[in-house]
Structure 1
Amino acid sequence: MTPAQHAPGAAVPGPPLPLLSGPWSARVARAEGADLDLVHGWMQSPHIDAFWHQAWPRERWYEEIAGHLAGDAILPVLVDLDGRPLAYIEVYRVVRDRLAGHYPELPHDLGVHIAIGEVGRTGQGLGRALLRALAEGLLAADPECTRVVAEPDVTNAPSLKAFEAAGFRPAGKVTFPDKTAALMIHPRAEEDMPR
């Protein structure tokens, strides 16, 4: 057996940048400068902290983003709408995440964490449009990926509604130490839903 066969997902590349088209654009977030200021500022917002619980100091966010950039499990991404920053996204490989083993994941399954930065831009349907664009953009970026997943908190009703409106389907609940999550799956095709 090769070393890659011992570690789940070892031969799978890191998560890709979603391929988005106008009015959306995505780029890898940097761990310094304006990107760090933006993410750190957004994470202090009550509407984000209520579910992310990461209203950390700026230095801790520097370490978080830099750590993601140095690894191959999570890709930190900033998404703009019409050239204006809208959301911080973390794209992750399920096989390298705590979600692994909670459902019959495939090696190329991708997951997303999403935070819309400004509370004034929530509740307008932007979340569902962004989630649909992200799912389609990730499936386009990785032809071997057949499922994009998410695990929002079961108490976050607006988020659950947005995921369903974006084509994600409920696939059970997952219990983590810090939350009970709804497993949401956006399959490439019907046969790609787990049985």
Structure 2
Amino acid sequence: MLHLDNGFDLRPAVPADAARIALWMAQPHIQRWWQQDWPVERWAQELSTQSAGEHSIPCVAAVDSQDFGYVEVYRVRHDRLAEYYASHDHDWGVHVAIGDVTRVGRGLGRQLLRALADALLRADPQCERVVAEPDIDNTPSVRAFAAAGFVQQGELQLPEKTALLMVRTRTMQQ
């Protein structure tokens, strides 16, 4: 369990979380952007695969001990994203989905993103940047990243979307 600022916690997601994550990923506000509304069995396998590798760390996010979202933290150098911008060896990337629909649109995403970026920058002195690549048309996500101190660094044409490269640097920490 990793305790973040403002009452947020992250814990590694395990196959037992697959049913909840599958439910979250099927929510229209997530499915449209993630396109991972998979069956529980596929999510269980995905969580096992991610946990066994060095590419990304799947997590369940909670605030005040209530699970509300899914987070992936990953080293960009192990991700295809590294091919699309001038990445550094110690860049961290983040994917965040607020699964609990009762918590969507209340500023929770930006608070989590800020706390998560702050924690990654504190935990890894060699990391100078935390990055994300939301779909350019995902206005709520882009707004949340901007409100969390991420700055747009240009468009990226990924195979499945046109994304905005959003970057939070150590110098942007508040």
Q: TM exceeds 0.5?
A: yes
Higher-Rg member (1/2): 1
The equivalent position to 2:100 in structure 1, one of 118, 121, 126, is 118
The equivalent position to 2:112 in structure 1, one of 113, 130, 139, is 130
1:72-127: CA deviation from partner (whole Å, max 9, x where unpaired)? 01100111000001210000110111111211111010000000012221111111
The one-letter code sitting in structure 2 at the alignment partner of 1:138 is: L
**Superposition deviation, residue 19 in structure 1:** 5.1
Aligned to 1:81: 63
Aligned to 1:109: 91
**Retained in 1: the 8 A contact 2:136–2:164?**
yes
The one-letter code sitting in structure 2 at the alignment partner of 1:105 is: S
Higher helix share: 2
After TM superposition, the score normalised by the length of structure 2 is 0.94
After TM superposition, the score normalised by the length of structure 1 is 0.85
Q: Secondary structure at the match of 2:5?
A: coil
Quickly say closer, same or farther: Cα 1:150–1:18, change in 2 above 3 A. farther
Indicate yes or no: 2:21 matched with 1:39: yes
The one-letter code sitting in structure 1 at the alignment partner of 2:135 is: D
The equivalent position to 1:139 in structure 2, one of 121, 141, 152, is 121
Question: Where does 1:9-20 land on structure 2 (aligned, <5 Å)?
Answer: 20=4
Q: Secondary structure at the match of 2:59?
A: strand
List runs of 5+ in structure 2 lacking aligned partners: none
- Misfit runs of 4+, over 2 Å: none
Instruction: Give, in whole Å, the separation in 2 of the partners of 1:80 and 1:27.
Output: 8
Instruction: Give, in whole Å, the separation in 1 of the partners of 2:138 and 2:6.
Output: 28
Quickly say closer, same or farther: Cα 1:18–1:138, change in 2 above 3 A. farther
Indicate yes or no: 2:37 matched with 1:27: no
Aligned residues: 172
Indicate yes or no: 2:99 matched with 1:148: no
Instruction: Give, in whole Å, the separation in 2 of the partners of 1:172 and 1:47.
Output: 24
Higher relative contact order (CA 8 A, sep 6+): 1
Aligned to 1:12: none
Higher strand share: 2
1:121-158: CA deviation from partner (whole Å, max 9, x where unpaired)? 11111111111001001111211111000000000001
**Retained in 1: the 8 A contact 2:6–2:115?**
no
Aligned to 1:13: none
Q: Secondary structure at the match of 1:54?
A: coil
